[in-house]
Structure 1
Amino acid sequence: MKRRMIVVLLLVLVILINGNAQRDSMDTPLYEGRSLVIGVIGETPQVREKGHVGFKEVTFQQLEDLDLSAELDAIFITKEHLVEASEPKYTEVYNKAEVPFFYIESKKSHVPFTIEELSYDEVPDLSSDMYATGYYGKAAEHWGYGLYNGVMNETNVQAVYSHIFATIESLHHDGGT
């Protein structure tokens, strides 16, 4: 009887834990559009669309020196490089580039990157509920991508990337990049 009670309690505990995990994540569809090549300044993200989306390392020097739009569909700049990315010398790049930029884990929207007079540290958190911010200067468009229920976990982060990939593809359909 005691053993049976322990088994029942364990089952109830597993069901409760599993239920909470499901509320913290949402199953979203994979991006299945055309193949994309995305430049990354920082660490390459782990995504579900490994066959559909490729990544290429990009440096800040390349942003200054080259027109990357022929090779890339977009550029991601990761959290550890956001302060450098907000330096005034890059503002014109973001505003005139033929590709959109996505600032991963920026809580400050696109503002410190697109307004030359503002640095990353000077701008208050404007989008505390966002995981990523996108900006396409050529079309003067910007986007915010939040995590499901505000929960940071692998499933929710990968869902954001799938949503970003769909945005990038839509720019191609709309005559963008």
Structure 2
Amino acid sequence: MPTRVCSPERCRSPPDAWPSFVAGPWWGAVVFEYAWKESAFVALVVAGALITRVVDYDETAALLGAGRRTRLRLVWLPLATPALIISGAITFVYTLGSYEVAWLLGRTYPEPLSVMAVRLYNDANLAARDEAAAVALTAVALAAAAGGIAFALLRRSAVWR
């Protein structure tokens, strides 16, 4: 059985062979992958927050004559809001720090902060480590700001009081 040897030019797929959804201008594949990956976590947090309290309130609203849409708007969503805020903040911080999906499926320019930090840290030039630390510190500051915004939104919600 003959072995197949191919040159790098023959075995590589050209950039035009990839669909524009992957590494395209709108980051579609990256967004869908993170949405798929984090949807189970968000659903678990929201279900855990709703399962203990929503049945009593929902039955009470139904007995008082509220329809399905009214119960969704006035019972389910206010009770789910704190869980959505917290899980949204956790998901944002996680996706801000993970680099593998954006590195594999995203475009090469502009780079996300996490991809840039890993690339600069692994650079052969040790002077790039300072830049990697600055990029990582920027990502940490953004994560702290997201946490602060999430807690400010939680304090404003009616369930928090």
Same fold (TM over 0.5): no
Higher RCO, 1 vs 2 (CA within 8 Å, ≥6 residues apart): 2
Please give the range of the TM-score, normalised by the shorter of the 2 chains. under 0.3
Q: Give TM-score scaled by structure 1 length.
A: 0.23
Q: Could you state the TM-score of these two structures normalised by the residue count of structure 2? A: 0.25
**Pair member with larger Rg:** 2
Q: Which has the higher strand share?
A: 1
